[in-house]
Amino acid sequence: MTSATVTANPSLRSELVGARLPAWAPYGSAVASVGLAVLLRWMLEWTGWATTFVAAALLFVVVLTGWSFAVEGRRQAKNRFASTLIYASFLAAIVPLVLILTYIGIKGFSVFSADFFLRSMNGVTSRMEGGGLYHALIGTLQQVAIAAIVALPIGIFTAIYLVEYGRGAFAKTVTFFVDVMTGVPSIVAGLFVYTFLLLGFGMRPFGAAGALALAILMVPVSVRASEEMLKLVPRDLRDASYALGVPKWRTIVKVVLPTAMSGLITSSLLAVARVAGETAPLILLTGYTASINMNPFAGDQATLPMMVWDQLGKRSGTTSNDLTEARAWGAALTLVLLVLILNIGARLLARLAKPKTH
Amino acid sequence: MVQTAGDDSRTDDPFEIAAQGVPGANPLYGGPTPDSADKVDAPGTILPDGRPEAGISGRSVRLGDRVFKALAAGSGAILLIVMAAIAIFLVWKAIPAFTDNAGNLFTTQTWNPQGTPAVFGMAAVFFGTVMSAFIAMIVGVPVAIGIALFISHYASRRAATTLGAIVDLLAAVPSLVFGMWGLYFLIPETKGFQAWMSEYFGWIPLFDNTTATTVDQFGKSLLIAGIVLAIMIIPIVSAVCREVFLQVPQETVDASWALGATKWEMIRTAVLPFGRAGIISAAMLGLGRALGETIAVALVLNSGFRINWHITEPGGDTFASTIALKFGEAGGSPVAIAALIAAGLFLFVITLVVNTAARIVIARKKDFT
């Protein structure tokens, strides 16, 4: 039986598929819309490129959707419209991030020098050049360390309770309030420590008060993240340990915690990073000083955020000038680098040292 | 050979010997008569020499277990105590704001707690807070949902993790930096945009700027504060939405593909309805964040202390920015401090309500999955 001659005609589309735009349609529309926007700019004599950019974007959406509507039909046109919007929304996240990081990078880097990191602002007025953030860096590191020492054990033990022991009303209440505490604004935590410590006992601002507020903000983050890490430890490990007659507390200390250790370190680093950049509680609690204060329990202590706040003139209600603004940017960039190092370190650790579950 | 209980001294069969201790192992053998050494005591029994018996019960009678459990439960209790303490102290110290105030705390717009008499109220502050948070939600939540959809359904698997990490990086940037960027970059760059909004959309009173005559006078407005807040809430909202969208059951997605849906139709019918509770909860979490944001708003807005519906005009206050900005001058005056604590109390209650509602929504959804 002879086979039916089917002419291999590549231009014959399957009849099951409706008309489709060519694959180069989005690129074609982009070129067309940019061209149209530039034309409009020339014709309407716009200044600057922002309006042209916006016009090109809007024209792209119109051209692609319209073309698709004409060729492919309503459903496909809606699909293309939605896809364009979704791709655009992603750009809307990337663009601010890039803008912010490059802007602060450029502005802050210009003031970086060895002096900037090793000197304090002692004796440097707002009209003088020079000065540094050593005093602020020490303050931030000390206060974050104290906050971590206070908050991380509480967070991890609460997570242990919720995962290993928690059944019943108490555990449900704790879980609910951990969630609620994640939403407490930082200024409210600062206000609480202010009313409790500073007003209640009549104390002057000091560094560790700020650390206490940071600890309050750190605990819920630590609880949630540690809980997730502890839940990753498989039940079999615990059951094997119980089967061998090991008491519960030893199982947790010797089996569960070592297995989840890298995850717990990751969650702790994330909690510290979340809190290291907080400014609001520090305004109320730590004061500011231009000189180095190595004792977080006595007297005003400078921190990176408060140095920015002071250099921008917000602390004393004055205005800022180029010199103070440059220093403020330098301190802000240092803060961003500190937080980014903690964040990226935590993620690298999470990637490299997954919990050993076998 | 049938043997009676106790008469086990004459058997040679090792199995018989071994079986004597195990009840039911030898069906012909009745099993040992329980004596005092075999009896399983009640939990928590104290043996004659004073030691507690370690029974096979759920109660932790070992010292180590009790101490450890107390440590763990105690940490949870500390959390509850701190939450309660926050509420109690804020209410207690805010009382003078109600009693010593010549104006009405809820309806007065001006803020002068150090005048004689002290007149201050939360009306303008409340308006600024709600308006900036509202703008942040309108701008930020759709973008965040779009990002979450992009990462979960449009991007390739490998790109998805990287892109997710990049968006989370936005969450790591301190709010101080957002405020500075807003003040020094965004405001100068958007002066033209705000002027354009006022000119072409000014027929909507919301966008009309009645005071500015040149482009330069546009700037530190509630609109820009709302946009900065929107950028700040995008990571949180998109992270929660992403989690939810990734959990859509593959059968539902496959079913819509099988029916010939386009990608958008699949998302509209399979993903979004499934994620509705998650989206609502994510939006409310973002709202909570926007309401409590202090520094970014304090840097971007000028205080005005009046309710101004023209959001492109300069000026505005939120609870948090008022506390941060007015703290310095409130130093010696107890009434001023009490006024700030009252603002903090209002903020605490509002964010508490919003966050609790968000958790309830997501908890109710979990009951049905």
Over residues B107-153, the pLDDT tens digits come to 777 787 777 777 888 888 888 899 999 999 999 999 999 999 999 99
Q: Are A103 and B181 in contact (CB under 8 A)?
A: yes
Which amino acid does the sequence have at A257?
L
- Of the candidate ranges A33-42, A96-105, B13-22, B145-154, the one whose mean pLDDT is the lowest: B13-22
Query: Is residue A10 scored above 90 in pLDDT?
Result: no
Q: Which of A52, A50, A51, A27 is nearest to A38 (CA)?
A: A52
Q: Are A324 and B163 in contact (CB under 8 A)?
A: no
Query: Is residue A40 scored above 90 in pLDDT?
Result: no
pLDDT attached to residue A168:
83
Q: Give the model's confidence band at B6: pLDDT under 50 very low, under 70 low, under 90 confident, else very high.
A: very low
Q: Are A119 and A130 in contact (CB under 8 A)?
A: yes
Pairwise CB contact (< 8 Å): B324 & A200: no
Residue of B nearest to A102 (CA): B181
Pairwise CB contact (< 8 Å): B267 & A343: no
pLDDT attached to residue A319:
80
Question: Is B111 in a helix, a strand, or coil?
Answer: strand
pLDDT attached to residue B45:
57
- Show residues of chain A in contact with B172, CB under 8 Å: 273-274, 277, 339-340, 343
Count structural domains, chain B: 1
- Segment B176-216, tens digit of pLDDT: 999 999 888 888 888 877 777 777 777 777 777 777 777 77
Q: Please state the pTM of the whole predicted model.
A: 0.81
Query: Is residue B103 scored above 60 in pLDDT?
Result: yes
User: Which residue would you say has higher pLDDT here, B20 or A247?
Assistant: A247
Please give the share of chain B, as a percent, with pLDDT higher than 70: 82
pLDDT attached to residue B272:
92
Q: Give the model's confidence band at B2: pLDDT under 50 very low, under 70 low, under 90 confident, else very high.
A: very low
pLDDT attached to residue B369:
46
Query: Is residue B304 scored above 70 in pLDDT?
Result: yes
Which amino acid does the sequence have at A276?
A
φ, ψ for residue B364 (rounded to 5)?
-65, -35
Selected for mutation to probe chain A from B183, B294, B301, B349 (highest A CB count within 10 Å) is B294
Selected for mutation to probe chain B from A279, A304, A329, A348 (highest B CB count within 10 Å) is A279
Which residues contact residue B284 at a Cβ distance below 8 angstroms, ignoring those fewer than 6 apart? B354, B355, B357, B358, B361
pLDDT attached to residue A95:
86
Parallel, antiparallel, or unpaired: how do β-strands B111-112 and B119-120 relate?
antiparallel
Helix axes A74-109, B222-245, angle to 10 degrees: 120
A20: left (phi over 0), alpha (psi -120 to 50) or beta: beta
Q: Is residue B359 part of a domain?
A: yes
Query: Is residue A5 scored above 80 in pLDDT?
Result: no
- Of the candidate ranges A101-105, B63-67, B351-355, the one whose mean pLDDT is the lowest: B63-67
Structural domain harbouring B356: 111-368
Q: Give the model's confidence band at B334: pLDDT under 50 very low, under 70 low, under 90 confident, else very high.
A: confident
The rounded mean pLDDT for chain B is 80
Q: Give the model's confidence band at B59: pLDDT under 50 very low, under 70 low, under 90 confident, else very high.
A: low
Distance CA A350, CA A342 (A): 12
Q: Give the model's confidence band at B17: pLDDT under 50 very low, under 70 low, under 90 confident, else very high.
A: low
Query: Is residue B230 scored above 90 in pLDDT?
Result: yes
The rounded mean pLDDT for chain A is 85
pLDDT attached to residue B144:
94
Give the closest of B90, B143, B299 to A93, CB-based.
B143
Query: Is residue A243 scored above 90 in pLDDT?
Result: yes
CATH number of the domain that B142 lies in? 1.10.3720.10
Q: Is residue B60 part of a domain?
A: no
As a whole number, mean pLDDT of residues A289-311 equals 86
Selected for mutation to probe chain A from B81, B187, B264 (highest A CB count within 10 Å) is B264
pLDDT attached to residue B172:
84
Q: Is residue B221 part of a domain?
A: yes
Strands in A149-210 per DSSP E: none
Alpha-carbon distance values, B227 to A53, A181, B135, B234, B239 (Å): 19, 26, 7, 11, 19
Question: Cα A284 to chain center, whole Å?
Answer: 24
Give the closest of A89, A178, A317 to B146, CB-based.
A89
- Segment B142-175, tens digit of pLDDT: 999 999 999 999 988 888 888 888 888 888 888 8
Query: Is residue B36 scored above 60 in pLDDT?
Result: no
Query: Is residue B11 scored above 80 in pLDDT?
Result: no
- Segment A11-36, tens digit of pLDDT: 566 777 777 888 888 888 888 888 88
Q: Is residue B277 part of a domain?
A: yes
pLDDT attached to residue B24:
47
Query: Is residue B7 scored above 70 in pLDDT?
Result: no
| DSSP run (H or E) holding B120 | strand B119-120
Pairwise CB contact (< 8 Å): A312 & B294: no
Give the closest of B83, B262, B263 to A180, CB-based.
B83
Selected for mutation to probe chain A from B56, B62, B79, B186 (highest A CB count within 10 Å) is B79
Residue of A nearest to B168 (CA): A343
Query: Is residue B100 scored above 90 in pLDDT?
Result: no
Distance CA B273, CA A133 (A): 51
Pairwise CB contact (< 8 Å): B344 & A191: yes
pLDDT attached to residue A12:
60
- Of the candidate ranges A89-103, A234-248, B8-22, B125-139, the one whose mean pLDDT is the lowest: B8-22
Q: How far is A57 from chain B (nearest CA, A)?
A: 16
- Segment B240-262, tens digit of pLDDT: 899 889 889 999 999 999 998 99
Residue of B nearest to A252 (CA): B68
Q: How many CB pairs under 8 A join A and B?
A: 263
Domains of chain A: 25-109 (no CATH), 134-352 (1.10.3720.10)
pLDDT attached to residue B14:
53
Pairwise CB contact (< 8 Å): B294 & A279: yes
pLDDT attached to residue B255:
94
- Show residues of chain B in contact with A308, CB under 8 Å: 176, 180
Give the closest of A101, A103, A195 to B93, CB-based.
A195
- Of the candidate ranges A156-170, B12-26, B52-66, B293-307, the one whose mean pLDDT is the lowest: B12-26
Q: How far is A191 from chain B (nearest CA, A)?
A: 7
pLDDT attached to residue B5:
45
Please give the share of chain B, as a percent, with pLDDT higher than 90: 21
- Of the candidate ranges A139-143, A285-289, B7-11, B142-146, the one whose mean pLDDT is the lowest: B7-11
- Show residues of chain B in contact with A93, CB under 8 Å: 143, 147, 166-167, 170, 234, 238
Query: Is residue B29 scored above 70 in pLDDT?
Result: no
User: Which residue would you say has higher pLDDT here, B10 or A354?
Assistant: A354
Query: Is residue B3 scored above 50 in pLDDT?
Result: no
Burial string for B1-31 (b: 16+ CB within 10 Å, else e) reads: eebeeeeeeeeeeeebeebbeeeeebeebee
Q: Give the model's confidence band at B46: pLDDT under 50 very low, under 70 low, under 90 confident, else very high.
A: low
Q: How far is A316 from chain B (nearest CA, A)?
A: 7
Give the closest of A185, A249, A278 to B347, CB-based.
A185
pLDDT attached to residue A141:
92
Please give the share of chain A, as a percent, with pLDDT higher than 90: 21
Pairwise CB contact (< 8 Å): A183 & B355: yes
Give the closest of B60, B74, B320 to A280, CB-based.
B320
Taking the CA atoms of chain B, what radius of gyration do you get in angstroms? 33
